[in-house]
């Protein structure tokens, strides 16, 4: 049976002039439409790990936002232990004058110390695993996450999602609440082994959203068979907010000044959406 072909033409973003980068210029930053930030009441940050720089900057741009972070792999105990480990690293790298490592662990130490302050009322961190079904006690459904935040509005939710492959199973949940979601900034993983699943997820999301930006994550490999990165960052905008002009973007991806390599030690991946690109 032949391997499914990646439907790259569906990934070509529409043209928009309002894109800005939120978060760091490496892994954890996303390119989003500026206008959706001010109307957001609830930022759902699914998949925190140890990086909430995007959430921090989003809150700076719109202090009225409530943030709910969801990640079962991290919590206060981990970050308290991490502070001690960082202090040892800071001490060691300071002695041998490793400036890059010293800066890395100093920032990490500050982030770990900031965790409990940042995720305090009205913001919350749920130590749960996002799932379409509650198969285990740690699982939480998308609709139950929504109940933790402000009550329903229109286009009042910004969804940021990096949940390591589980993004495919919550597409139905996203579409069920699409009227509340203004924008989605997400990562899709495992494109070579989940090509058909990815194609279907994109086709279904495009019924209610348009793609305004894409970027290949260079922390993972570039797949020669697909001629595309194995991990892809995609930003969607609700169709009702996109206006009438849905012309394809003429930009070359990655876009200078907006896009930066997730891993700054390696070059970024160029993206080609079809045979004429």
Pure H helices in 27-141:
35-38, 53-61, 76-95, 99-118
Closest C-alpha to 212, from 6, 7, 8, 17: 17
CA distance 201 to 219: 23
Q: Please give the average per-residue pLDDT across 29-53, as a whole number.
A: 94
What is the distance of C-alpha 121 from the center of its chain? 23
The CA-based dihedral angle spanning residues 125, 127, 129, 134, taken in that order and rounded to the nearest 10 degrees: -110
CATH topology of domain 1-74+127-277: Rossmann fold (3.40.50)
Q: For residue 183, what are the β-bridge partners?
A: 158, 237
Q: Please give the average per-residue pLDDT across 175-180, as a whole number.
A: 95
Confidence of residue 59 (pLDDT cuts 50, 70, 90): very high
Residue boundaries of the structural domains of the chain: 1-74+127-277, 75-119
Structure confidence at residue 277 (pLDDT): 39
Phi, psi of 204 (to 5 degrees): -70, -40
On the question of pLDDT at 3 being above 80, the answer is no
Confidence of residue 213 (pLDDT cuts 50, 70, 90): very high
On the question of pLDDT at 268 being above 80, the answer is yes
Q: For residue 21, what are the β-bridge partners?
A: 31
CA distances (Å), 202 to each of 66, 208, 230, 276, in order?
Answer: 28, 11, 15, 21
The CA-based dihedral angle spanning residues 137, 138, 140, 145, taken in that order and rounded to the nearest 10 degrees: 120
Q: What is the mean pLDDT of the chain?
A: 92
Name the residue with tokens 């800066």: 103
Query: Tell me: the pLDDT tens digits for 77-109?
Result: 999 999 989 898 898 888 877 888 898 889 888
The CA-based dihedral angle spanning residues 243, 247, 248, 253, taken in that order and rounded to the nearest 10 degrees: -60
On the question of pLDDT at 49 being above 60, the answer is yes
- Tokens, residue 223: 């797949």
Q: How many CB atoms lie within 10 A of CB 112?
A: 21
On the question of pLDDT at 216 being above 90, the answer is yes
Structure confidence at residue 50 (pLDDT): 86
What is the distance of C-alpha 267 from the center of its chain? 20
Q: Please give the average per-residue pLDDT across 185-196, as a whole number.
A: 95
């Amino acid at each position: 049976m032949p391997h499914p072909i990646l439907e790259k033409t569906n990934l070509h973003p529409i043209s928009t002039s309002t894109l800005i980068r939120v978060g760091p210029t490496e892994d954890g930053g996303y390119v989003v439409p500026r206008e959706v930030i001010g109307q957001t009441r609830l930022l759902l940050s699914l998949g925190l790990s140890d990086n909430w720089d995007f959430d921090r900057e989003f809150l700076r741009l719109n202090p009225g936002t409530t943030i709910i972070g969801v990640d079962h792999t991290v919590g206060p105990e981990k970050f308290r232990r991490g502070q001690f480990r960082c202090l040892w690293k800071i001490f060691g790298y300071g002695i041998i004058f490793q400036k890059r490592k010293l800066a890395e662990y100093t920032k990490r130490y500050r982030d770990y110390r900031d965790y409990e302050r940042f995720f305090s009322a009205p913001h919350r961190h749920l130590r749960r695993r996002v799932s379409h079904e509650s198969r285990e006690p740690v699982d939480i459904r998308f609709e139950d996450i929504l109940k933790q935040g402000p009550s329903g509005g229109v286009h009042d939710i910004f969804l940021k999602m990096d949940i390591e492959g589980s993004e495919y199973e919550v597409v139905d949940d996203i579409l069920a609440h699409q009227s509340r979601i203004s924008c989605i900034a997400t990562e899709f993983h495992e494109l070579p082994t989940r090509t058909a699943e990815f194609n279907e997820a994109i086709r279904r999301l495009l019924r209610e959203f348009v793609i305004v930006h894409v970027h290949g994550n260079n922390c993972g490999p570039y797949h020669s068979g697909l001629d595309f990165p194995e991990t892809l960052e995609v930003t969607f905008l609700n169709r009702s907010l996109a206006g009438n002009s849905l012309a394809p973007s003429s930009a070359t991806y990655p876009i200078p000044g907006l896009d930066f390599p997730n891993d700054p030690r390696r070059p970024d991946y160029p993206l080609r959406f079809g045979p004429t690109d």
